[in-house]
Amino acid sequence: MKKLVLPLSLMVPVLVFSQTKKKDTMKTTDIEEVVFQKKVAGSTKDITNVKISAKDAKNVASISGGIEGIIKTLPSVNSNTELSSQYMVRGGNYDENLIYINDIEIYRPFLIRNSQQEGLSMINPDMVSTVNFSAGGFEARYGDKMSSALNIYYREPQKFELSGEGSLMGGRLTAGFASGKKDEDGNKKFTALFSGRYRNMNLILNTLKEDTDFNPVYMDFQTYMNYHITPKLSLSFIGYYSKNDYEMIPRERSVDFGSLQRPMNLTVFYNGREDDKYKNMMGTVSANYKPSDKWKFTLDAFSYQNREREYYSIGSSYILQTFDPVTGDPVTSYDAGGQIEHARNDLFVRTYGTQFRARFSPNVNTDFEVGFKYEKENLKDLTNEWKLIDSAGYSMPRPIDDPRIGDYSDLELAYRIAGNNHIEPTRMSAYVQYSQKFFWGASKVFVNAGARVSNWSFNKETIFSPRVQFAIKPDWDSDMLFKLSGGVYYQSPFYKEIKDLDGNFNSNIKSQRSIQAILANDYEFYMYDRPFKLTTEAYYKKMDNLIPYYMDNVRIRYSGQNNAKGYAYGIDTRLYGEFVPGVDSWLSASYARVYENIDGRGDIPRPTDQRFRFAMFYQDYMPQFPKMKVNLTLTYAMGLPTGAPVLTDPYMYQKTLPAYKRVDLGLSYAFIEPKEKKSAYGFWGNFEELTLGVQVFNAFNIRNTVANQWISDSSTNMAYPVPVRLTGRFFNVKLEFRIK
């Protein structure tokens, strides 16, 4: 099999400004469409968007989910856990990313404490037609978040279809049908798509090397229906229901850590259990009216409800022991202690509202767009969470100078968060934007300018967010596109940001602000008669009104105060193309830094300070046996500075986690492919696709660390970071089919 080997120097674009111009310049009085790059299905005019193939996202070997799993291979995206579908973008945290399905903003669960409790991603890869992702500098029509925007569009089936998957982790079943004659746009009168998924992560969580009884059960159901009343008027409905139950009964855990000179072991015995439940429901009705090619109107009515319960009471006792580095025998000095973690947290979130959008396109190169959104929110939060730490019979953080001498000071909990909050605010927002494509001499130019304004009644704040995009494609022999985008981006507060460390809602909280500038270059070329695209982006963000936060695994705990400012900068590059003929792969590399200054005490790295990261998504097949296919995802990311104890002074504790390294591999054999002629008869002739696959998660069995558990030693008054490690190697077998 012939492989394509590329030198590392191709990862850095050479921007040659002294290009030879083409002799022919376009001189015409007719209005013709200005095309910057090859048009593909589901294309968008947002120049910051990266289009991701829905087929690639479905095939990727990923525990967290197909769409998010492949997004994590992009250079600007980071994640240090495979158990969560959440991700961080360019120094932002998990809460700073917008997610849309058919232009309707969706929400993630809020009370997640550990990534394995999260459950299924709301995005169902079986229903997706188009995936557009922007890592910053996005248009004004997107909402108020500081990092990224992911816009998913669900597809309409063209005829009856039935597809499914069964694996060791669960299964899914998707059915679709279409009825009626096609209109002038190729749409059937009525189309419907239904999909249900079930997943149990017990086998994967058993690779954590803990004596724990896991029973994580996740299920959801989604539907997408369209009724085309006339070629100009259509109605659509998206419905979603999910139920995630996470039950855990820990029994024993043993961790070896330390160094060769001082090996250590922590053995923990548990008593108690954790029982979490998450229920999410969403419904959206949309009316689309297109009276002509120039006008388009959309009216959406949406409702979302989230009910979360996080209950756990877990007591633990531990033995901390050191060993002789030569003989391996335990030494006599050791420490014993324990802790109790307790929570009774309930959250109820209900949002409903409507939004209206209108677009006017006087010609193929010009767009005017306006939109308005009204949203009513209902948040009920009951929090009762505390932690007691005991070391050698003495409650921590009670000071211990000498355990033999009595101490009559008050006993204290390590922390306690308690709150009873109920608010019913309203949120209103509006935007306007203008986009234009035109020729500047022989060069093609694109401009998008817009602004959005929003108001939240809870903190009585009104924010104004101007945004602009500019792109130019010089008339050079080399196919290059230069892009500049930026503006003022706010992180509009919601449940997490307004809740302080005591558990109360702060009505004086303000939106965090980020002023962004992004310079990018796209270079398309052919090598070995195959298409490639090299994208490079450099960015800078200046941020103020920041709310400091702590990262507890994938949970974000905000301080509830706008008492910090900061900045972020970095450079991303991605080489995309056909490394193997006929299939797309890419290499990604990035370097990013993000700092904050809390109360004027000086710059320190934020908990999401990424530094260097490299990722790869690679697809291949055997030329002699093209039905045998393979896909591989590889990730290397330097450790995040989130290894310090939670709720401690970040200026006193700066502990960086080890680097995150992981390789996932997917192997499959297609017994029946969609494009081949049906040579089978009888029952097998009904199948359009039948594939058997094997997935190897964490192929090299690398034990990554997601956080540290800090254990105190009363004899020395020291605290030791004990790594909380992620999953090991796991083999999954899956069978996929499609009937049409």
Q: For 245-302, give the DSSP string.
A: EEEEEEEEEEEEEE-SSSEEEEEEEEEEEEEEEEEEEEEEEEEEE-SSSSEEEEEEEE
pLDDT computed for residue 5 by the predictor: 41
pLDDT computed for residue 24 by the predictor: 44
The model's pLDDT over 312-333, given as tens digits with 9 standing for 90+, comes to: 999 988 888 888 777 777 776 6
- pLDDT of 519 > 80? The answer is yes
- pLDDT of 35 > 90? The answer is no
Dist CA 721 CA 727 (whole Å): 19
Mean pLDDT, residues 518-532 taken together: 93
Q: What is the DSSP string of 292-336?
A: SSSEEEEEEEEEEEEEEEEEEEEEEEEEEEEE-TTT-PEEEEEEE
> What is the pLDDT confidence band of residue 686, given thresholds at 50, 70 and 90?
confident
What 3-state DSSP class applies to 498? helix
The model's pLDDT over 379-408, given as tens digits with 9 standing for 90+, comes to: 999 999 998 877 655 555 655 555 555 555
Mean pLDDT, residues 203-209 taken together: 86
User: What residues contact 87, with CB distance under 8 A and at least 6 apart?
Assistant: 68, 71, 72, 77, 78, 79, 94, 97
pLDDT computed for residue 699 by the predictor: 95
pLDDT computed for residue 321 by the predictor: 83
pLDDT computed for residue 642 by the predictor: 84
- pLDDT of 8 > 70? The answer is no
Dist CA 395 CA 58 (whole Å): 50
pLDDT computed for residue 600 by the predictor: 95
Which residue carries 């289009």 as its tokens? 51
Share above pLDDT 70 across residues of the chain, in percent, rounded to a whole number: 89
Establish how many alpha carbons lie within 13 A of residue 372's alpha carbon, considering only the half-sphere containing its beta carbon. Answer: 3
Dist CA 722 CA 208 (whole Å): 15
Establish how many alpha carbons lie within 13 A of residue 457's alpha carbon, considering only the half-sphere containing its beta carbon. Answer: 11
Check: CB of residue 147 under 8 Å from CB of residue 96.
Answer: yes
pLDDT computed for residue 724 by the predictor: 87
Dist CA 209 CA 250 (whole Å): 12
- pLDDT of 15 > 90? The answer is no
Among 299-308, 398-407, 504-513, which is the least confidently predicted range?
398-407
- pLDDT of 9 > 60? The answer is no
pLDDT computed for residue 19 by the predictor: 37
The helix or strand, by DSSP H or E, that contains position 355, with its residue range, turns out to be strand 330-363
Q: Of 159 and 28, which is predicted with more confidence?
A: 159
> Token digits for 547?
């709310």
- pLDDT of 62 > 70? The answer is yes
pLDDT computed for residue 429 by the predictor: 97
- pLDDT of 16 > 60? The answer is no
Partners of 87 in the β-ladder: none
- pLDDT of 239 > 80? The answer is yes
- pLDDT of 491 > 80? The answer is yes
User: What residues contact 573, with CB distance under 8 A and at least 6 apart?
Assistant: 11, 12, 13, 75, 534, 535, 536, 537, 588, 589, 590
* CA neighbor of 614 nearest in space, from 586, 643, 636: 636
For 13, other C-beta atoms within 10 Å of its C-beta total 15
> What is the pLDDT confidence band of residue 654, given thresholds at 50, 70 and 90?
confident
Among 202-206, 401-405, 466-470, 690-694, which is the least confidently predicted range?
401-405
- pLDDT of 683 > 80? The answer is no
The model's pLDDT over 575-625, given as tens digits with 9 standing for 90+, comes to: 999 999 989 999 999 999 999 999 999 999 999 999 999 999 999 988 878
Dist CA 193 CA 174 (whole Å): 7
- pLDDT of 6 > 70? The answer is no
What 3-state DSSP class applies to 99? strand
Choose the most confident range, by mean pLDDT, from 107-121, 174-188, 380-394, 534-548.
534-548
Q: How far is CA 35 from the centre of its chain?
A: 31
pLDDT computed for residue 515 by the predictor: 97
Dist CA 559 CA 562 (whole Å): 8
Check: CB of residue 664 under 8 Å from CB of residue 694.
Answer: no
Check: CB of residue 362 under 8 Å from CB of residue 316.
Answer: no
Mean pLDDT, residues 418-424 taken together: 95
Choose the most confident range, by mean pLDDT, from 269-273, 476-480, 593-597, 716-720.
593-597
Among 87-101, 332-346, 365-379, 435-449, which is the least confidently predicted range?
332-346
Dist CA 431 CA 355 (whole Å): 11
- pLDDT of 715 > 70? The answer is no
Q: What is the DSSP letter of 499?
A: B
> What is the pLDDT confidence band of residue 213, given thresholds at 50, 70 and 90?
confident
Angle at 144 between CA 139 and CA 150, to 5 degrees: 60
> Token digits for 544?
């103020």
Dist CA 487 CA 89 (whole Å): 17
pLDDT computed for residue 365 by the predictor: 92
Q: What is the DSSP letter of 32?
A: -
- pLDDT of 290 > 60? The answer is yes
Q: What is the DSSP letter of 26?
A: -
Dist CA 404 CA 398 (whole Å): 14
pLDDT computed for residue 118 by the predictor: 81
Check: CB of residue 396 under 8 Å from CB of residue 389.
Answer: yes
- pLDDT of 415 > 80? The answer is yes
> What is the pLDDT confidence band of residue 167, given thresholds at 50, 70 and 90?
very high
Mean pLDDT, residues 694-702 taken together: 95
Helix and strand counts by DSSP (H, E) for the chain: 4, 36
> What is the pLDDT confidence band of residue 237, given thresholds at 50, 70 and 90?
very high
Share above pLDDT 90 across residues of the chain, in percent, rounded to a whole number: 60
pLDDT computed for residue 422 by the predictor: 96
Dist CA 58 CA 41 (whole Å): 17
Average predicted confidence (pLDDT) for the chain: 87
Check: CB of residue 387 under 8 Å from CB of residue 272.
Answer: no
pLDDT computed for residue 356 by the predictor: 97
